[in-house]
Amino acid sequence: FQYEVDYNDHFETPIEAYQDIIPLLDLVLKGPENNNRTTSTSTGGIIYDPYYCNGRTKIILNKLGYNNVVHEKRDFYKDIENLQVPDHHILITNPPYSDSHKERCLEYVVQQYQTKNISFFLLMPNYVAARSYYRRILGDTINDVAYYVPNKGTGNDYNYSHPEGTGKEVSPFSSLWFCGI
């Protein structure tokens, strides 16, 4: 990587997490009048995931029928600073949980949502909603955020995997999607 990474941040989003938000994703990309996955795939908008890990996001979204995906090994924060963030209609990511990544990502997506109406889907630990920075960043926009809590029968956690096969088998926290749609 051309930028500093934390080994413990490299846990991949499972396909089930993306499958859970397909109805919302399609609603944003195609609009309510064209929301029929049986006859078409989403080609009308660009999906962007700024945190690369090992590039699995693009592979999974392509498998689910989303072919307009930007997911490259780039320094997201440098791209923001240099005004070089790729054009996109939706930002979907599972941001790194170390340091201030969650807060910085949230600041960016909320600013983009408020100024450019760019939707976002952030998969983060549920405790983020209780953090003071969450309420500060969202301000009046907090009522515009929807939450998708996974319901997997006996538990509500996604199982994340590390590209090197290391880490805990069960997540130490519950996750949910924070959705600005």
Domain CATH code at residue 148: 3.40.50
pLDDT digits (tens, 9 = 90+) for 10-66: 567 888 899 999 999 999 988 755 444 443 344 569 999 998 877 889 999 999 999
Whether 34 maps to a domain, the answer reads: no
Number of domains within the chain: 1
Whether 35 maps to a domain, the answer reads: no
Query: 47-48 and 175-180 as β-strands: parallel, antiparallel, unpaired?
Result: unpaired
Whether 105 maps to a domain, the answer reads: yes
Whether 37 maps to a domain, the answer reads: no
Cα gap 87→170, rounded to integer Å: 35
Residue range 86-92: average pLDDT? 96
What pTM did the predictor assign?
A: 0.82
Which range in 1-5, 99-103, 136-140 is most confidently predicted, on average pLDDT? 136-140
